[in-house]
Amino acid sequence: MIRVYKVIGKSFFARSTIAVARNLLGTCLVRRVGRTVLSGKIVETEAYCGEDDLACHASRGRTKRTEILYAKPGTIYIYLIYGMYWCLNIVTEREDFPSAVLIRAVEPVEGVTLMMRRRGTRKIEDIANGPGKLCEAFGITGRMHGKPLGPETLWIEGRGGRLPARAIGQSPRIGVDYAKGCARYPWRFFVKDSPYVSRRS
């Protein structure tokens, strides 16, 4: 498959986190490793939005760890979860407002052979249907943390359009039951009927 997409600029991320999370669906996450291009269509995202969002890592304010969420839009935020898995986020909104979108799942497009090898599976639906899985498939680690989107790290491509509303599903975010009332916010977005999302209804 040949990509005919355009690189999405930083300004895409300098607006409401909800809008970014929703509009990232259908775009492509791309990375180059040596001569190999890895890419996948984003099919699932979550919005984490401000200190008032108890599920957001910045809900207890600025610390060494959460400082990154206050950075410029388009900055890469990667953290280690459960001591084992990396999770990929992209910082959103204006500088000094702590928010980001978590990329939770992609549909593998290019570099599938390498992804399968990294993931230890030949089942394409299981390659990148979860935040930890997609980082393993793409070889994304904490080394990219704090860097901007771009050819040296990873980037997003799109056609400039957006998916029709009827193609988009919405639900509470996964794994944030501890976040009191915020746990019910419907800030997870996914491509309806995609077999590549992390959990199907």
Partner DNA sequence: TCGCCGATCGGCT
Partner DNA sequence: GCCGATCGGCGAA
Nearest alpha carbon to residue 100 among 201, 16, 180, 197: 16
Cross-strand pairs, 33: 36
5 vs 85, beta carbon nearer DNA? 85
CB of 152 to DNA, least distance (A): 22
CB of 192 to DNA, least distance (A): 19
3 vs 117, beta carbon nearer DNA? 117
**Binding region for DNA (CB under 7 A):** 46, 48, 55-57, 60, 63-66, 69, 80-85, 87, 89, 100, 102, 119, 121, 126, 130-134, 173-176, 178, 198
SS3 content of the chain, % helix, strand, coil (to 5): 25, 30, 45
117 vs 159, beta carbon nearer DNA? 117
The CA–CA distances, whole Å, from 124 to 34, 71, 109, 117, 133 equal 23, 35, 10, 11, 12
CB of 106 to DNA, least distance (A): 11
52 vs 82, beta carbon nearer DNA? 82
| H/E stretch holding 41 | strand 36-49
Contacts of 181 (CB under 8 A, 6+ apart): 54
CB of 68 to DNA, least distance (A): 10
